[in-house]
Amino acid sequence: MADDEAKKAKQAEIERKRAEVRKRMEEASKAKKAKKGFMTPERKKKLRLLLRKKAAEELKKEQERKAAERRRIIEERCGSPRNLSDASEAELQTICKQYWQRLYELEGDKFDLEHVQKLKAQEVNFPTRNPKSKPKPKQISTKYHTKYQAHKIPNKKKKPNTRATNM
């Protein structure tokens, strides 16, 4: 019996040590999980969600700004809309004359701009060159320059025409 008690005591001691090691291992794994990093998967999801919301807000603000700019430009170019339903016939005639005059001026401006554009395109396609300026000749490499000079025929002086013509 003493043998059995010693075995049981030894077994209990082994179990206690195992439990202690198991407890240390669990604490170490918990510490590793806690130390794993600042950006846990939950935090990453929240951050992505916040970034998407912020991007959506920025996009809405940009669209509103562009729409306001577009309205301002249209109002600047076309003028503010006029109430035609409450206008009398004389007022309608003056409004129509104003619109016609504006259209007439814009068509003239359009014609002028198109003419300038055609001139620029023509200049690009057919550049004007100063007739006094001559294009520079291409440089011959010094390697071939001596060969070129060797084959070049020296200029002969022209003899004056001594023949009598149309006597």
Q: Mean pLDDT over all residues of the chain?
A: 82
Do residues 95 and 82 lie in contact, with contact meaning Cβ atoms separated by under 8 Å?
yes
Calculate what percentage of the chain has a pLDDT beyond 70.
Answer: 71
Query: Between 145 and 18, where is the model more confident?
Result: 18
**Lowest mean pLDDT across 86-90, 115-119, 139-143:** 139-143
Do residues 92 and 84 lie in contact, with contact meaning Cβ atoms separated by under 8 Å?
yes
Query: Between 157 and 81, where is the model more confident?
Result: 81
Q: How far apart are CA 124 and CA 144, in angstroms?
A: 36
Do residues 138 and 148 lie in contact, with contact meaning Cβ atoms separated by under 8 Å?
no
pLDDT grade for 124, boundaries at 50, 70 and 90: confident
pLDDT attached to residue 141: 65
Maximum distance among all alpha carbons in the chain? 164
**pLDDT > 90? residue 158:** no
Q: What is the pLDDT of residues 22-43, one digit of tens each?
A: 999 888 877 776 655 677 888 8
pTM above 0.75, yes or no: no
| Total residues belonging to the chain | 167
Do residues 148 and 140 lie in contact, with contact meaning Cβ atoms separated by under 8 Å?
yes
Q: What is the pLDDT of residues 3-23, one digit of tens each?
A: 788 888 889 999 999 999 999
